[in-house]
Structures are given as C-alpha cells and as structure tokens.
Amino acid sequence: MNHRLFGPLPNASDAPTGAAGEVMGASAAAPGLAPVVVVGTGPVGVRFVQQLHARDPACPIVVYGREHWQPYDRVQLSSFLRGQTGWDALLRGQELPASPQVQVQLHTEVLEIDRAGRRVRDNRGRWQAYGTLVLALGSRAHVPDLPGIGQAGVFVFRDLADAQALQARRVRSVHTVVLGGGLLGLEAARAMQRQHTRVTVVEHAPRLMARQLDALTAGALTTRLQDLGIAVRTGAAVRRICGHGRVSGVELRDGEHIACDTVLVATGIVPQVPLALDAGLPIGRGIRVDDRMATADPHILAIGECAEHRGVVHGLVAPGLEQAGVAVHTVLGGTARYAGAVAPTRLKVAGVPVTASGTVDPERHDDSAGPLQLLHHRSPGRTLTVALARGRLVGLAAVGDVPQLARLQAAVGAQQRLPFWQAWRLRRSGCAWPEGDGDGVAQWPADARVCQCNGVTRGALGEAITAGCRDLPALCGATRAGTVCGSCQPLLAELLADAGAATALPAVPAWRTLGIATAVATLLALAVLSWPGIAYWARAQAAPVWHRLWTDADLKQWTGYGALALAALGLLLSARKRSRRWQGAGGFDGWRLAHVVLGGLALTALAAHTGARLGARLDMALVLLFLGLALVGAVSAAVTAVQHRLPARQVQRWRRSADWAHVLLAWPLPLLLGLHVLKAYWF
C-alpha cells in the first residue's frame, strides 16, 4: 500500500442513501475526496487524528466517538476517581484539531460497515463514505459470568461514566471488594480507598500482577499495598456475588464469605470486535492486523486495544500510540512498520513504582533458550528479580525505585550477557554496575524510553531541552512526554535540572553578607585551631581584666553555656528544614544567614571559654570536633554564597558532601558536651 489511502469514492455518485436518507460522502472542505474516517475517540484514535492532521492538514477526517464527552485521557481515570486529577487535566493532550478539515461526531456510534460501498452507518441512520476507515474501538470491561453479578452495587471501571458512578459510590461504601489483582484492579482499589471505605482485592492467581511479576516482587507489592491499608487475598476465586438485588458480599470457592456493599469488577478487557466481525473482517481475540496496521481489507486499519497484532492484543496505551503513528504512515503511503516489540512496562501501581521487562516467569519462558535462572535483590523500599537464560538477561521485575533501571531494561532488551561478578553485585546491592554509574536519567542511553506511554526517548528529550525547553510544561508540550499517565514527570524534571546543572544557579539573596559572615567564622575557627593559646599571667594582679575570662569560674560558666546556647540555636536551622510547621517561619535564606552568624558567635564564645587553647583528651576532642563542624559548615556556606559563579553540578556535589560532613560531625557533639559538663562539675 504505497499510495495515499484516501481519495475519490469507489463510486461516489452511486453511493446508496442511509435509513435517514442522508449520504455524507465527500468532505465539505474537499469536495470529491472521501475522508479518512476514524471510529473511536480514545487516546489512540485521538492520537491518530492529531498526527494525521499535523502531517497533512489538507486531509479530510471524520471522527466518531460514542461517548458523551470531549475526548479525555482514560489512563488518568483512576487519579480522577481519587480526586487528584481535575476535569481540565483529564482533557489535556486529547484535543482534536480545530480545523474545517476535521469533522467531529461525538455521542455518535457507528453501527455498520459497508465494505463494498466503503461507507459506515451511524446510530442516527446516516451513512458516511470513507477512503480509509480506521477502527480505534478500544475494549470493554470483561465481566465474568458469576451468579449475582447483575445486582445493584456491582461496578466496572472503563470510562468516565463508570468513574463518576464510582465517585458517588465511594462516598457511601463501607467495604469495597475489587475482583482482579492486575494493574486496573490495583489502581481502582487505591482510588476507592477513603477514610471510611475498606478495600479488599481478591485475585484468583497465586500472586498480584501475575503476568508481569514473580512471587518475590509480587509479594513486595502486596506488602506495600497492605501498608497502604488495602487487604489482599490471592489464590482466592469468587464463587458468587451474594445479595437480594443489592450486593451484600462475595462468596469464595472455599466457602468463605466476605461481607461488602460494593463489588468492582476488574478482571480484564475484551476488545471491541462486533463491528468488524459483522463486516466479515478476520478476528482472533481482536481485529487481526498486519505490520502496517491494515486488516484483511486494505481500506480498513485497526489500532489500539481493539487490534490484534501477531497474536497479541496490547492492554496498555503505549503500544496503541505507537500503532497510531504507524497507521498515519500507512495512510500517507509511508513504509513504517509496527514490530510489536513489547516495550518495558514502567508503571505507578497504586502509587508504587512497578517495572517489568521480558519474562521472569518460568511457565511463560521458552526453555529452548535455556532454563530460567532467577536472581533476587531486596533492600528497604526496593525488590528486584532478574531472569537469566544461559547467562543472558531475559527478564526483570521490580517494585520500588530501582537504580540503573533504564540501563538494566536496555540490557534485558538486548539480552546482554551478565558476567558472574555483575550478577554477584546485583544480588548484593541491586546494581549490576558500580553504584552511581548511570543512575541518573541524564546518563541513560539516548534510545532509552523515558516516557513509556508516548515512547519518548532520553535522546529526544535532550534535543528538546537543547532547543530551548527550559521547564516542564514546555518540555511536555514539545515532546508529549508526561502527557498521558504523567508518571515520568519526575524524570523529566530531573533531566531539566541536570541540563540546568551545566549552567550556573542564580545568586542567593544577600550573598555578599553570607560570604562575609562565612569568612569571619572561618577565620575565627582557623585562629582557634592554629593559635598556640593565650598564656596565663604569672601574677593574677598584673593580668588584664579579660584574663579573668578563663580564671574566674563564674565567667567560664557563662562563656561555656553561651557557646552551648548559640550552638543549640544554630540547630534550629535543621528543625526549619525538617519540620513542616517551621517552614512557614520566614525565608530559608534568612535562616541560613542567621545560622552562619550564630556559628561565628559560638566560635567567639568558645575562644573566650578556652583562651583559644585546645586542651587535652576529652576537651581537645570536643574543641576539635566543634572546629571541624564549623569549618565544613563554612565550606557549604561559602559554596552557597558564590554558587552563581560556579557550575551548578559542582555546587550541588560540593554542597552535598559538606552538608553530610556537617551533619555527621554534629551527632557526637551532645555526648561530648554532656561528658565535658559532667567532668567540669565532678572534678
């Protein structure tokens, strides 16, 4: 098919009229040209229209959508149900082109395809001719045939109408049982949770997300969900939904009864095929298509969740969006092919990062490639399973934030060999490569996907940033990354920050004052450190008055407690950093300056207390610790004061190291101070 797939009607003048006696043949804007007709305004149909219009604005397009609303982002429905996404955000990115070339028929269902006449009939009885017909029909929720399933209180979660019904239900539900522990079930479970709504997930497989995860990672996900207050029952099949017209519970196969008022069915999807089936197109699980997304009829394409490509129906949005791009090429006579490579899945399931690539399930593994060997790593907040076959990486499943993830996914995609020392390191630390090596998204390979939904690579994002996208909205707008499920937005922010890190940061307010205060404090610390100490006068009567500072016990107490009090006040800065309540108390820049000034005053009090002597043993340890603390603090403050003159990446690195050292040195201080005070009074 190397010609444009729209053109004159096969026999436009003979086109039969529909039941309503109306034929909408040629586009109003392009008389004589049969338009590309798109059925379905889900994310995939919308993406097809947007891309086709962008590449050929003169191409007439007619779009049908049977839902009542403007096209919206289905992927965001769970956060909409949770109340985290508003209406505007739901519509963002789903706008159909406002052009006379694009006719939009919402709330209109296509009921019939007349392949011979190359036209479709809608529910108002009107016929519409097409040059190319693109079916982006999506799927519907699979509802198992269980006794009692038709009662009030049983819901599915597929579209906005379902989300609205569930929103209303959520307010009064006391206990919701979700049937299905896959992605949708878990998202729905999290969304249904409220202060007074208990949620239980019932999954008949022995583990959650059984297709993507192995027992270990699924176990970690179960624990994370339970920590969120969601009860999980795996290996538990439902026998019937109990109630008399209204749900009162579910009965499991083992006879157990779970009382509930709401049942949410999330047991999979069924591709929407009847329209294509009635038209005589070959159907498997979905509408069968080739690598150009064409069905057996070269004038009809199918994309998204309704399409079956090489025996696979993809239930995620990313492959559908990729297919939309290929279909646009096909319509315009291009040569693009959909290879069907399963993109690695990186999702936020109920707020928990979950990643899957290849297979980690021995039952799904083809043993001819060698037996599957699983390597596991567990550390707080992260569980990782990697599958090897004949020493090559063939799968990975992870729950939590995993370092070097993109690199690992790329290695799985390329079935790279994993030498034994890397396997050992992976088991021990969760990293196949030395830690810090390739951790940040900026170090990911250029072809690694950052936005899984839209297939936007790190390289493409880098180019957009270089071309001038300096903030998140600009980067999302230019590349479309982060506009579907939004879970990659933190990675985009990291890329932007890293790009910004190559340039200088802005100057902090009052940076000169901060610099001067830091210089004074540093000089004081160095003076105490290097001065041999002020000598005691041999005769007290001849000594100057300030000599009493370290000979008069009362004055010594004043200077000692003064230093202690000033140091304690300085600690308030860390309270300001950590406590939310304190964060309203003035700008951080002012607090930082105060912290440096307090440090300088504490050093002065220390010099007065000790006579700039280091002392011996415990006293010496205390003084040295205090001076060390002051000096590393001064390094951090100095770097901050001149940050606008240095590369931001260096600033961040130096400041992080100095801050860590400052905090580490602060820890033993209270103990040594306590011992010093004890010693002073005891002896």
Ligand X SMILES: Cc1cc2nc3c(=O)[nH]c(=O)nc-3n(C[C@H](O)[C@H](O)[C@H](O)COP(=O)(O)OP(=O)(O)OC[C@H]3O[C@@H](n4cnc5c(N)ncnc54)[C@H](O)[C@@H]3O)c2cc1C
Q: Report which of 417, 364, 363, 410 is spatially closest to residue 389, judged by C-alpha positions.
A: 417
The verdict on 136 binding ligand X (CB under 6 A) reads yes
- From candidates 53, 74, 119, 449, binder to ligand X by CB under 6 A: 74
The verdict on 611 binding ligand X (CB under 6 A) reads no
The nearer residue to ligand X, 138 or 180, going by C-beta atoms, is 138
The nearer residue to ligand X, 45 or 482, going by C-beta atoms, is 45
Under 8 Å between Cβ of 381 and 351: no
- From candidates 50, 78, 559, 604, binder to ligand X by CB under 6 A: 78
Q: Report which of 356, 358, 167, 175 is spatially closest to residue 257, judged by C-alpha positions.
A: 175
Cross-strand bridge partners of residue 647? 504
The verdict on 271 binding ligand X (CB under 6 A) reads no
Ranges of beta strands (E only) in 366-498 are: 372-379, 382-389, 392-400, 449-451, 456-457
Question: What's the CA gap between 103 and 107, in Å, rounded?
Answer: 13
Applying the rule CB under 6 A, the residues between 466 and 485 that interact with ligand X are: 485
Applying the rule CB under 6 A, the residues between 339 and 398 that interact with ligand X are: 347
- From candidates 318, 360, 441, 525, binder to ligand X by CB under 6 A: 318
Residue 206 sits at φ, ψ, to 5 deg, of -70, -10
The verdict on 322 binding ligand X (CB under 6 A) reads no
The nearer residue to ligand X, 453 or 517, going by C-beta atoms, is 453
The verdict on 430 binding ligand X (CB under 6 A) reads no
The verdict on 185 binding ligand X (CB under 6 A) reads no
The verdict on 302 binding ligand X (CB under 6 A) reads no
The verdict on 42 binding ligand X (CB under 6 A) reads yes
Applying the rule CB under 6 A, the residues between 217 and 246 that interact with ligand X are: none
The verdict on 158 binding ligand X (CB under 6 A) reads yes
Under 8 Å between Cβ of 452 and 346: yes
Token code pair at residue 220:
């970690």
Size of the site for ligand X (CB under 6 A): 37
- SS3 label, residue 35: coil
- From candidates 26, 63, 77, 598, binder to ligand X by CB under 6 A: 77
The verdict on 41 binding ligand X (CB under 6 A) reads yes
Residue 568: count other Cβ atoms within 10 Å of its Cβ. 13
CA within 13 Å, CB half, 132: 28
The nearer residue to ligand X, 153 or 320, going by C-beta atoms, is 320
Element (H, E) at 121: strand 119-122
Residue 150: count other Cβ atoms within 10 Å of its Cβ. 10
| H helix intervals, 279-401 | 317-331
Q: Report which of 355, 426, 346, 352 is spatially closest to residue 388, judged by C-alpha positions.
A: 426
Under 8 Å between Cβ of 303 and 320: yes
Residue 112: count other Cβ atoms within 10 Å of its Cβ. 14
The verdict on 316 binding ligand X (CB under 6 A) reads yes
The verdict on 130 binding ligand X (CB under 6 A) reads no
The verdict on 37 binding ligand X (CB under 6 A) reads no
The verdict on 112 binding ligand X (CB under 6 A) reads no
Applying the rule CB under 6 A, the residues between 54 and 73 that interact with ligand X are: 64-67
Minimum distance between the CB of residue 572 and ligand X, rounded to whole angstroms? Answer: 43
The nearer residue to ligand X, 24 or 75, going by C-beta atoms, is 75
Q: Which residue has the tokens 């998140």?
A: 472
**Binding stretches for ligand X (CB under 6 A):** 39-45, 64-67, 74-75, 77-78, 109-110, 136-139, 157-158, 184, 187, 272, 275, 304-305, 315-318, 320, 347, 453, 485
